Amino acid sequence: MDVTTPTNAPWLIVGLGNPGPGYERNRHNVGFMVADLLAERVGGRFKRAGKAQAQVVEGRIGPAGPANRRVVLAKPMSFMNLSGGPVNALKDFYKVPVANIVAIHDELDIDYGVLRLKLGGGDNGHNGLKSMTKAFGAEYHRVRFGIGRPPGRMQVADFVLKDFSSSERKELDYFVDRAADAVEALVIEGLERAQSTYNS
């Protein structure tokens, strides 16, 4: 087991996105999509988390026994560039070490549907990560979901705030499912084993 995964501390798994129906299927909201699927898997429904500006589901993942993990799934209800505040509040409330935080987010510099798992690093211009790193440092895990680069001269901001294309949507459910599998593997098996399986 990794030294970064103490069994007595919960994991805080954060899907990054923007709240509201207008953003629901945007590329920038793929973190929310993965978090929603993980909530289904643990049999929970997102609900407002006390004073934190976030929705949460508490549950457990993994087989019975020592590999079983207590998790808090979260969706910040601030906008993307303010994600750090709600996540920091949840971190403090649930007493989660920074190394037990997982951010699920869209990644421009990776081809569509490709996953990369890592611990720490820069924000690569992603405003959600930038806000989280400013709030509590960079040493949290990331599950990076590739969305590719904008076509032609389209601005990055326009691209990430558009829905996935019709051709992308044909495979979206599969890729979201695989990303949820990767999150579970990270939490249960540790980063290196999850990377060897999912860092395609």
Q: Which residues are catalytic?
A: 28
Question: 171 CB contacts (<8 Å, ≥6 apart)?
Answer: 113
Spatial strand order of the sheet with 141-146 comes to: 47-48, 54-61, 69-76, 11-15, 101-107, 141-146, 115-119
Is residue 15 within 8 A of residue 71, CB to CB? The reply is no
Amino acid at 198: Y
Two structure tokens written together for 99? 């190394």
Two structure tokens written together for 78? 């601030």
What share of residues in the chain are helix, strand, coil (percent, to 5)?
A: 40, 20, 35
Question: 170 CB contacts (<8 Å, ≥6 apart)?
Answer: none
Among 67, 78, 69, residue whose Cα is nearest residue 32: 78
